[in-house]
Amino acid sequence: MTTLKTTYMGLELKNPLVVGASSLTADLDILKAIENAGAGAVVFKSLFEEQIQLEELEMQNELDEYTERHAEMTKLFPTLKHAGSKEHLLKLRKAKESLSIPVIASLNSMHPDTWLEYALEIEKTGVDGIELNFYTTPKDFEVEGKVIVQSQLDVLHSVRKALRIPVSVKLSPFYTNPLDVIKRMDAKEVQSFVIFNRMFQPDIDIEKEELIQSLYLSSSNDSRLTLQFTGLLYGNIAADICSCSGIMNGTDAIKILLAGATAFEVVSTLYQNGVGQIPIILKDIETWMNSKGYKSIEDFRGKLAKKNLKDPFAYRRAQYVEILMRTNDIMQKSKLV
């Protein structure tokens, strides 16, 4: 009997497919559909401190405007306050209570104190784990990379020390050496690394000559970077590896498991194909396992990780150089000229 069961972040999952944080995972009806479709776990949409601050600011501005015009009316509501994180925490608690698969929360904060404060609030909702979403887009020319890494290590240390639930870290690939950063974070005894988040990238409307923010979804090619680092990390860190970005179908999922992932997160493929893509991916994994005679994921997980390959150049730059040297053979000349 083939089983897709896995243990991720110390949690028993019926399969390694985790639906990643997105607007899909903030809606209870969709979360129910995700569970019914067979997902192993879900990551609830992130609590973004920045968003709460913006909303609070907007609300304060509206109130100030109102105060000027109708001072006597706002006095009627002296306790009126923005719900802030409370609304998010209520929804999170409701999701945890309504689902039987593990619910992992996600947090993106801005200051060391608030990381810890919100993480503790999240833990109280009863969720099964928390993903720290270390999402920072470079914006300051003056801040050295090592300062950002150190502040993330400090946050991780304080959150890990204070919380009892499993903690994972979701990272971007934009570090000079992501392997070094992950190794140092691994020493803080986190349960998993989610590699990698996809960063916000603006687009430009050339007619209006304006920056636009359109929803950009992944394609399978985006899983190459994830696959590379999954294969490099497997067997070298204590934490689990949850691969993320560009895992669109069963083939992408099988590749990432062969590279060494304990679990994988999907988002874009659900926006593109609907929640019905979940059983398709799971079925494809099972069919492939049966064709290979594998009974469990442990039978093949990490089989093609760097650690398990004899070729010293696997996952190395030398392979890339060789590809570049062979480009003429690979490309069909007739199509180019």
Ligand X SMILES: Cc1cc2nc3c(=O)[nH]c(=O)nc-3n(C[C@H](O)[C@H](O)[C@H](O)COP(=O)(O)O)c2cc1C
Closest by alpha carbon to 233, among 282, 292, 171? 171
What is the rounded CA–CA span in Å between residue 279 and residue 264? 14
**Residue closer to ligand X (CB basis): 11 or 247:** 247
**Residue closer to ligand X (CB basis): 6 or 25:** 25
How many contiguous H segments (helices) and E segments (strands) does the chain have? 14, 13
Q: For ligand X, what does the binding mask look like between residues 107 and 136, x meaning CB under 6 A?
A: --------------------------x---
Candidate ranges 52-60, 112-120, 144-152, 240-248; the one touching ligand X (CB under 6 A): 240-248
One of 9, 11, 18, 22 touching ligand X (CB under 6 A): 22
Candidate ranges 18-26, 57-65, 180-188, 318-326; the one touching ligand X (CB under 6 A): 18-26
Q: How far is the CB of 207 from ligand X (least distance, A)?
A: 25
CA distances from 138 to 48, 148, 199, 202, 318 (A): 17, 10, 10, 13, 30
What is the rounded CA–CA span in Å between residue 80 and residue 66? 13
One of 4, 130, 266, 297 touching ligand X (CB under 6 A): 266
14 half-sphere exposure, CB direction, 13 A CA radius: 14
Q: Does 268 bind ligand X (CB under 6 A)?
A: yes
**Residue closer to ligand X (CB basis): 104 or 305:** 104
What is the rounded CA–CA span in Å between residue 135 and residue 48? 10
Candidate ranges 50-58, 114-122, 245-253, 327-335; the one touching ligand X (CB under 6 A): 245-253
Name residues whose C-beta falls within 8 Å of residue 212's C-beta, 6 or more positions apart in sequence. Answer: 202, 203, 204, 205
Cα-atom radius of gyration of the chain, to the nearest Å? 22
| Residue 75, token pair as written in the block | 């006095």
Q: Does 245 bind ligand X (CB under 6 A)?
A: yes
Closest by alpha carbon to 13, among 40, 35, 32, 39? 40
Q: Does 267 bind ligand X (CB under 6 A)?
A: yes
Q: Does 45 bind ligand X (CB under 6 A)?
A: yes
Instruction: Find the helix or strand (DSSP H, E) in which 89 lies.
Output: helix 85-98
One of 15, 197, 243, 262 touching ligand X (CB under 6 A): 197
Q: Which of residues 213-232 bind ligand X (CB under 6 A)?
A: 215, 218, 222
Candidate ranges 63-71, 171-179, 261-269, 316-324; the one touching ligand X (CB under 6 A): 261-269
- Which residues are bridge partners to 98 per DSSP? none
Interacting residue ranges for ligand X, rule: CB under 6 A: 20-23, 45-46, 106, 133, 170, 197-198, 215, 218, 222, 244-247, 266-268
